[in-house]
Amino acid sequence: MDVIKFGGLELTFLQSKEGTGGSLDLFEMVLQPNARMPVPHYHESWEETVYGLSGITTFTVAGTAIDLAPGQSLFIKRGVVHGFKNNSDAPAKCLCILTPGALGPAYFREIAALAAGGSPDPAQMKATMLRYGLVPAPTA
């Protein structure tokens, strides 16, 4: 299994685009307390389905906050701005399915490398995201 850690996130890849012929990416994501997706974004060419396994992960999808609890699922269409965070005092875990498979572990390894020194360079983060088809949300 491919485990990638950065910030307060830990991803364990169970399937990737490389092994599924581009059909899907499947990974478990653990968020430590107060961890979050650093940059709200949308995907240009895939959908994301998230299934809660433990704890509560708060997703913000198209400006609406949604608490994802164990046994609940959330579907995020391509083109819809979203982000997530763990507002609780306990780790939260969810299963993420990207269809079709577009990222694989390579994207997350690059992001982890950028974040390794602390606060990543925003320009490098944006360039990496764009190269993989994630579009950072415009800031107000």
What pLDDT does residue 139 have?
A: 63
What pLDDT does residue 1 have?
A: 66
Q: What is the pLDDT of residues 30-75, one digit of tens each?
A: 999 998 877 899 999 999 999 999 999 999 999 999 999 999 999 9
CATH label of the domain that carries residue 121: 2.60.120.10
In a domain, 64, yes or no: yes
Nearest to 8 by CA among 77, 60, 55: 55
Calculate mean pLDDT across residues 7-34: 95
Q: Is the pLDDT of residue 85 over 60?
A: yes
For residues 79 and 20, the answer to whether their CB atoms sit within 8 Å is no
Q: Is the pLDDT of residue 23 over 60?
A: yes
Q: What residue has token string 């092994």?
A: 19
Distance CA 12, CA 15 (A): 9
Q: What is the pLDDT of residues 112-139, one digit of tens each?
A: 998 887 777 888 989 999 999 999 987 6
CB atoms within 10 A of CB 52: 20
Q: Is the overall model pTM greater than 0.85, yes or no? A: yes
In a domain, 119, yes or no: yes
For residues 105 and 13, the answer to whether their CB atoms sit within 8 Å is yes
| Number of domains forming the structure of the chain | 1
Distance CA 43, CA 77 (A): 8
In a domain, 93, yes or no: yes
Which range of residues forms the domain containing residue 21?
Answer: 2-134
Q: Is the pLDDT of residue 14 over 70?
A: yes
What pLDDT does residue 116 have?
A: 83
* CA count, 13 A, side-chain hemisphere, 139: 4
Helices (H) and strands (E) in the chain, counts: 2, 11
In a domain, 139, yes or no: no
